[in-house]
Copies of this chain bind each other. A is one copy, B any other.
């Protein structure tokens, strides 16, 4: 039974929930409502503006009820982190359907990752902070479990792209290391680039670099290093990048333009 719950076929899960107890569903909906509120609070009043007391004041429920959902402030942050990863997962699912070669699909995932980070800077930070011992230590076990499951789904999504590339021969197998090492490298580079660029907007250190350009550039370097064909010298990935934006994320890019009137250099 436990096993069934943790499987990721949403239909089954929803049916199960609806059948057994509609009460539970109302609770789940309320949780989403609270999470949206929390996100809004964070966006408005900065990070430290997110307070349990404020959340209680902003919603129609009492403190006890809120604490029924989130066992602590840290648990709430982890919940936001999970929400973030769920959104990412959806974007990634769209990204890997991109009509192109394998490398382009990886770029599409990077595009999605970057887009999500820029559109939801607060949530992006939540993921960072949720990894922090202070937070992880105080979150509820159930929440951490859910988080781990999401992480695995995310990395599975990425791994599938690399596995396919190895199968098709576009990407030579690494010697002495599992092919997941490739996948991890790409993830680390994308993550590091996004994180530093987000932080850089604070510190204004790397002014000359456009975020999109930097991520595309860095990823291309890495994939070239893996000798994933076609190499960046043999293919116009700049154009692929544009095409990814147009064909997969037109709507999100529009939202982005509304948010930031001046879109880079």
Residues of A that sit less than 8 Å from B by CB: 46-48, 74, 125, 128-129, 131-138, 147-148, 151-152, 155, 174, 177-178, 180-181, 184-185, 187-193, 195-196, 198-199, 202-206, 208-209, 213-214, 217-218, 220-226
Contact = CB atoms under 8 A, between A and B. Distances in A.
B152 A205 contact: yes
Contact of A195 (B46, B185, B191, B209): B191
Given A180-B208, A189-B222, 11 more contacts: A47-B133, A48-B134, A151-B203, A152-B205, A177-B213, A180-B209, A181-B209, A184-B209, A185-B217, A190-B192, A225-B226
Contacts of A136: 202
Given A47-B133, A155-B205, A188 B199 contact: no
Contacts of A193: 185, 188, 192
Contacts of A177: 213, 217
B188 A218 contact: yes
Contacts of A48: 74, 134, 137-138
Interface of A is mostly: helix
A47 B132 contact: yes
A160 to B, nearest CB: 16
Contacts of A226: 221, 225
A202 B134 contact: no
Leading 3 A-B pairs by shortest Cβ distance: A192-B192, A47-B134, A225-B225
A189 to B, nearest CB: 5
Nearest to A218: B185
Contacts of A218: 184-185, 188-189, 222
Contacts of A138: 48
Given A48-B134, A222-B222, A225-B220, A187 B196 contact: yes
Contacts of A184: 196, 206, 209, 214, 218
A129 B3 CA distance: 36
Given A188-B192, A188-B218, A189-B189, A131 B199 contact: yes
Pick from A125, A151, A202 the residue with the most CB of B within 10 Å: A202
